[in-house]
Structure 1
């Protein structure tokens, strides 16, 4: 299976980077092909420019990184997104990736003249897994902040486009848990991705 990972965290010593290494190790154990899109190392520009918005209308991307990512994702079997949640939302680069790469003519197209019904263009993609870290307790994130990431990414993006196999793995209160818990989480991720089908 070809697995493409989209990663966004600028600090190499972060827990997100430890998660990335565990996911990669698990995928290697499982014999999967890995393609890593590291948005920070790529210096991906998340800003939607006037040219990008015209491209949105015309369904022809102009950002060279978007074109590169499109070609890398279109043959993937599974997409994994790894990023922290800051102030209840994703960092700018991940938001920009969604804005500029989950794009008409790239990730989806419309099936009617009113542009209200969508169909996915990444037809090889069998599933999407989102892995996030945050310091907010789960009950607060769901109950007070409205589960913003699930609504925006899992439902508002991938469900809307038409991908049915969607998973969200959320690690909460990361700064508060002890090293033993963090290590256990990493081992669980490694095992999970070694068994990915």
Structure 2
């Protein structure tokens, strides 16, 4: 199996979390198989989350942690994002990271648009895996909410900049998961990491 270049982003803003444990399990298994991995932890990243009211022509300079994240995103062939589901979406700080880092000129090109007027995606050729923790079981996410968070991440973030397909693995209910359940989840993620999928 060929090795891959992987960026792993722990999108949980807390210093300790199930998301972080899932990332560590994925990274350990991926590295054991010879894959190259670069890791970013949202809880350790300090940056202004608010894009502000200026346009793309006058955007805020990227803080070093955001520039490093974007450079590793450009380098990677596969993107792994671990995030909790909060209020039907992703944490505010994670949304702020995407708002600030995914900018024209590096993530998409507004000078080249398709027939629908959408800018050209500049991060094509990459795939993604989202490790989604939730207290809402997958069947309810689909039946009651139409998988809104999955569509938001896969189409409006990843897909917009050219990263696709985006595959999801959901772990729920997560808040009160017992130790044996968590171990099963970590083993599942290790399999994904070893295969770099």
Into which bin does the TM-score normalised by the smaller protein fall?
Answer: 0.7 to 0.9
Q: Distance in 1 between matches of 2:164 and 2:71?
A: 22
Report the alpha carbon displacement of residue 152 of structure 1 after superposing the two structures with TM. 0.9
Written as runs of structure 1 = structure 2, the 5 A alignment for 1:32-111 is: 32-50=35-53, 53-54=54-55, 56=56, 58=57, 62-64=61-63, 65-110=65-110, 111=112
Q: TM-score, normalised by structure 2?
A: 0.85
Q: Distance in 2 between matches of 1:46 and 1:23?
A: 27
Q: TM-score, normalised by structure 1?
A: 0.85
| Root-mean-square deviation (Å) | 2.4
Contact between 2:8 and 2:39, CA under 8 Å: does it hold in 1?
yes
Evaluate the alpha carbon distance shift between residue 82 and residue 44 of structure 1 in structure 2; reply closer, same or farther with a 3 A threshold.
farther
Contact between 2:5 and 2:35, CA under 8 Å: does it hold in 1?
yes
Report the alpha carbon displacement of residue 167 of structure 1 after superposing the two structures with TM. 0.9
Secondary structure, counterpart of 1:184 in structure 2 = helix
Written as runs of structure 1 = structure 2, the 5 A alignment for 1:177-188 is: 177-188=177-188
Cα deviations by residue, 1:61-88 (Å, 9 ceiling, x for unpaired): 6222433322222111111111111111
Q: Which residue of 2 aligns with 1:146?
A: 146
Aligned residues: 192
Unaligned segments of structure 1, at least 5 residues: none
Secondary structure, counterpart of 1:185 in structure 2 = helix
Unaligned segments of structure 2, at least 5 residues: none
